[in-house]
Structure 1
Amino acid sequence: MALCVGIAGGTGSGKTTLSRYLAGNLEEFRVRVIHMDKFYRELRPRTIAPLSGQEYEDFNHPDALDLEAVGRELREALEEEDIVLIEGFLLFAVKELVDRLDYKIFVDCPSDERLARRLGKFKSGKYTQEETVREYLELVRPRHDSWVEPTRWQADLVLNGSLPTAKGGEMLLEWIRFKAAQPMPRSI
């Protein structure tokens, strides 16, 4: 049975970067990375921002995810791999997934830095910089405050997402290697 490590934190905090770093440095193991943002439903909830009245497609709520598909992928990975890294900003908000994690990491990053990263990520997309900032302020940040920030207390380790990935990543690699080398009894 695989060692299962969950990585949560706000949008743009560095979860994907950390999971890629870890997977790329664990070549001696069979590793699967599950990115929860690959499991959005086609029909997502819509919400209206309270101050502007702007309607948004809400990617920032657990109902936007196909949690059954995430669960199936996780169960399959736990049977087939040595290590499973699952990352998503809503990961710790879903009890059924949290219960399967052997180790929980929260990547903490200030909101202004997360916004700057979001702007860089979406600069060539379908939204203007102004639209990206407005959506962040009206929807993403409030949803972070409701669904992500309150879950950080569940983490076994909080990493500073402002630092280079290798700073906390090296320590995590050693811990993961140590744990993955031990038998992991688990019932699915």
Structure 2
Amino acid sequence: MSMLGLFQKCRVSAYCGVLSVRKQVRSIHTFKMAEKSADYSTTNGFESKTPFLIGVAGGTASGKSTVCQRIMEKLGQQHKEQTERRVVCISQDSFYRTLTPSERLRAERGQFNFDHPDAFDDKKLLAILKDILAGKKVEVPEYDYITNSISPHRSHTIYPADVVLIEGILVFYFPEVRELFHMKLFVDTDSDTRLARRVPRDIMERGRDLEQVLNQYMNFVKPAFEEFCLPTKKFADVIIPRGADNLVAIDLIVQHISDYLKRSPADKSIALELGLSSSSVPGSPQRAGKGGRPH
């Protein structure tokens, strides 16, 4: 059976280092996918494409960005010019909302909850993703972790691409955003490992002190993960334990994307409408009811 045929039958979960498969009839809800042209056109001087949109969720310091980097590297996209990339990555952090003066003061003291859904501008994220799905070139703002603000003078351009990865702690939390994804990945990493990664990162890269990092983690990050992020794991098509260390899961995802990239524009459009992520993987030893993924 062809890769596409296999991938059209089941949802996939990477669990315990292998993939467990659960049968399920599922349609991909996007914003009127059928109205999108199968042909490429020119927008803003660049080839317009309807991309395969992949969401990558998971807790803080779970390895979401690293997983995306590994995928980009294995597909040979990391060192290409922006205009030549067929696979691009966007961070949800670019869509933090602008803080009020009082919120900014709280943020400077480590007393603002950046892991709460209210910290994000989900409407702006939704609008950008719709533009991306429409094949448009977009400008994505850059977030400054030291000042806790969106840079008014810096942004990066996302050109039309075949595959777009969106990573963030709450990319599956907002229903309208979640329904745009053709595939949803959840990076599932042990909480102790995530904390061990977050502490040195925030101290060395973001100028925070140890007490501030630990207080913020205990008071905001951990509770928000359990209340808002972890429940979205049930929406994932693929769960990746151990993050970037799970080479089996990453290789399977890369192979899936590679097969998609080889298709003609017309075949890509058909694959998206059929629901490319409703899929199965050959050789998966686990089936529904026999070690299916936990929720």
User: Which 4+ stretches in 1 moved above 3 angstroms?
Assistant: none
2:202 equivalent among 117, 122, 127: 122
Identity of aligned residues (%): 31
Q: Report how far residue 163 of structure 1 moved.
A: 5.7
Q: Which has the higher Rg, Structure 1 or Structure 2?
A: 2
User: Which deviates the most, 97-106 or 71-80?
Assistant: 71-80
- 1:30 is displaced (CA, Å) by 1.2
TM-score by length of 2: 0.56
Q: Hey, what's the Cα distance between the residues in 1 that align with 2:197 and 2:211?
A: 14
| Unpaired runs of at least 5, structure 2 | 1-49, 78-84, 104-108, 136-159, 274-295
Offset, 1:7: 0.4
Give, in whole Å, the separation in 2 of the partners of 1:37 and 1:128.
21
Q: Trace 1:28-177 onto structure 2 (pairs within 5 A).
A: 30-43=86-99, 56-78=111-133, 79=135, 80-124=160-204, 125-161=206-242, 164=245, 166-177=247-258
State the secondary structure of the residue aligned to 1:159.
strand
Q: CA deviation at 1:158?
A: 0.6
Cα deviation digits, residues 21-50 of structure 1 (max 9, x gap): 21233247612211001111121796xxxx
Secondary structure, counterpart of 2:187 in structure 1: strand
Change (3 A) 1:100 1:162: closer
List runs of 5+ in structure 1 lacking aligned partners. Answer: 47-53
Q: When you count helix as a share of all residues, which structure comes out higher?
A: 1
How many residues align structurally? 180
> Over residues 46-69 of structure 1, what are the superposed CA-to-partner deviations in whole Å (9 max), with x where a residue is unaligned?
6xxxxxxx9721211121112222
Give the Cα–Cα distance (whole angstroms) in 1 for the partners of residues 54 and 244 of structure 2.
20
- Verify the 8 A CA contact 1:39 1:67 in the aligned structure 2: yes
Contact 1:21 1:165 in 2 (8 A): no
Matched-pair contact (CA < 8 Å) for 1:17–1:165: no
